[in-house]
Amino acid sequence: MADAYLLVSHGSRDPRPQMAIDRLSHQLSSYLEEVSTIESPILVATAQLELAAKPLHVQISDFARNCKDRGITRMAILPLFLIPGVHVMEDIPAQVEIAAQEIANSVPAQSCQQVKLTVLPFLGEDPDFANLFAQNRSCLPSQTIILAHGSRRSGGNAIVEHLASSVNLEVAYWSVAPSLTDRVAQLVATGATEIGILPYFLFAGGITDAIAQSVAQLREQFPQVELILGEPMGNSPELVATIAKILASSDTSPN
C-alpha cells in the first residue's frame, strides 16, 4: 500500500458533498490506521477537480509536499467518480501529469525523497462498490430506475448499463438520453403502478435536489403511479471498507 491517499471528487458549489467527503476521508483515515500493520503514518486528504480555490494539479503538488515533509514517498490518487467520463479518462490524468512534472522539477530525480504518484481505478469500476450500491435498491419496488448523471463520452455509460442489467433495473440519465421523464413514461405505458428511482450518486447535493424536484413534477404528471425516490449512497462503514479494499488491492507502482 501507499502511505498517502488523495480522494479526488468533482467539486460543487453546494457544501454538502464536500462535507460528506471530508467525513469519508476522516473515517477512512481511522480505518486504515486500525488495520495497518506498519508504524509509518498514513495520510488521507481530499481534492476537487473543479470549483476549488486551486487547480487540481496544484492541490496534488501541495499534498505531495506535505507527504515529503513527513517522509512519505508514495502517494495514491483515488477518483471518487462512478462512471468513466471525460473527467476520469482525460481531465484527472492530465492534471496528475502536470503535478508529476512539478514534483519532479522540485526534487532531483535520484533523490529518495521524490514522491511517486499512482492513479487508482475510479471508484465505480470496482465490483464490490457496484454490489454495495445495488443493496440500496432493497427497499424499492421491483420496477426501479437507476438514475445516473450520464456521459457523452463513447462507452462512458456502459458501467451503468451493466450494473442495471445485473440487478434488473431500468436506466435513465440526468444529462443524456434516456431522461428520467422518458423512462417513467415508458414504464407507465406498460402498466406500472409503482416505480422506484435510485440516484446513482455518492452523496446528496444540488443534483439530487433537482432530481427530487423532478420526481415531484412527475408525481403531478402521473398521479396514478406511486413514485418512490431512493437515497444516494451516503457514508457508511461498508463504503469505507470497500474503499480501503480498493486502496490495498490496487497496483501502486508509480506512473
Determine contact, residues 137/230, Cβ cutoff 8 Å.
Answer: yes
CA dihedral over 169, 173, 176, 182, signed as positive or negative? positive
Distance CA 198, CA 187 (A): 15
**Residue reference for cell 415531484:** 216
pTM of the model: 0.92
The helix (run of H) or strand (run of E) holding residue 171 is strand 170-173
First and final CA of the chain: distance in angstroms?
Answer: 15
Longest dimension (CA), the chain: 70
DSSP 8-state assignment for residue 139: G
pLDDT averaged over every residue in the chain? 92
Q: ω before 178 within 30° of 0 (cis)?
A: yes
Confidence of residue 111 (pLDDT cuts 50, 70, 90): low
Between 73 and 198, residue with greater pLDDT = 198
Confidence of residue 109 (pLDDT cuts 50, 70, 90): low
E-state strands within 81-157: 116-119, 144-148
The helix (run of H) or strand (run of E) holding residue 103 is helix 92-106
Q: What's the pLDDT tens digit per position in 15-45?
A: 999 999 999 999 999 999 888 766 667 899 9
